[in-house]
Amino acid sequence: MSSQSVADAVRARIRDVPDFPKKGILFKDVTPVLEDAALFKRLIGAMAREWKGQAIDKVVAIESRGFIFGAPLALELDAGFVIVRKPGKLPAKTLKTSYALEYGEGVLEMHEGAVRKGEKVLVVDDLLATGGTAKAAATLARGEGGEVIGYSFLVELSFLEGQRKLEGLPVKALLTY
C-alpha cells in the first residue's frame, strides 16, 4: 500500500468531534484509526518511511496521544523512546519548560538524562496545530544537548501554521487539513 493510500484510509477513519474539548475546536479523534489493526500497522510503516536511513537516537513523544505513535515509530527506527509529560507525572528528576496555550500557559517535563548530549532526536505527536507543544518538546530535548532533526505527526492542521514555530526543520505529517 502506498503512503498516499494509507493516508486516504486514515483520513476516512478520523472522527471529527465538534466543540471538544471546548466550543469552537473541531477535535480530530484518531481512536477509530487505531481500532483497525492492519491500518495501524500500515500507518506506522508510512510514518517511519519518511525517516528511514537517517540516524535517529531518540524518539521524543508527547503525552498522551504522541505515545501511541511514538513508541512503534521508535521500534521501526531503531531509536530509544523518551516521554514528555504534563507536570507531576514523571517520578525522577525532570527538566521543565512552559509554553503558551490559547488561554494561559502549559508546562511539560522530561526526565533529566533521557536525552544525551549530541543525540539526534525526532519529536513525535499525533497532531500539529499551533506548534507550541512540539516546540516545547524540542526545547526539552535541546536542554539536555540533543539535536532535533525533525518532527513527525500523523495529522497537520496546516491552516494554523504550526510549522512556523518549528525552526525550518523537516516536518512530516501523513495527512494535512
Shortest Cβ 20–ligand AMP spacing (Å): 8
Q: Which residues contact 70 (CB under 8 A, 6 or more apart)?
A: 59, 60, 61, 62, 81, 83, 124, 125
Pairing of strands 80-85, 26-29: unpaired
State the Cα torsion 100-145-78-153 to the nearest 10°: 20
169 binds ligand AMP (CB under 6 A): no
Least distance in angstroms from the C-beta of 92 to ligand AMP: 23
SS3 149: strand
Question: Which is closer to ligand AMP, CB of 12 or CB of 25?
Answer: 25
Catalytic residue check, 144: no
* 83 touching ligand AMP, by CB under 6 A: no
List the one residue from 10, 128, 138, 171 that touches ligand AMP (CB under 6 A): 128
Q: Rounded to the nearest whole angstrom, what is the least distance from the CB of residue 28 to ligand AMP in the complex? A: 4
Contact between 72 and ligand AMP per CB under 6 A? no
Does residue 125 interact with ligand AMP by CB under 6 A?
yes
Residue closer to ligand AMP, measured from CB, 70 or 162: 162
156 binds ligand AMP (CB under 6 A): no
DSSP letter (8 states) at residue 39? H
Q: What contacts 24+ positions apart, CB below 8 Å, involve 36-42?
A: 39/6, 39/9, 39/10, 39/13, 42/1, 42/6, 42/9
Q: For this structure, is 63 an active site residue?
A: no
Give the span between the Cα atoms of 8 and 39, in whole angstroms: 11
Residue type, 102: E
Q: Which three cell numbers stand for residue 98?
A: 512552559
Residue from 70, 72, 146, 162 in contact with ligand AMP (CB under 6 A): 162
Is residue 127 near ligand AMP by the rule CB under 6 A? yes
Cα dist from 20 to 29, 99, 163, whole Å: 10, 21, 23
Instruction: Please tell me whether residue 26 binds ligand AMP under the rule CB under 6 A.
Output: yes
Catalytic, out of 13, 50, 63, 65:
65
Residues engaged in binding ligand AMP (CB under 6 A): 25-28, 62, 65, 125-134, 162
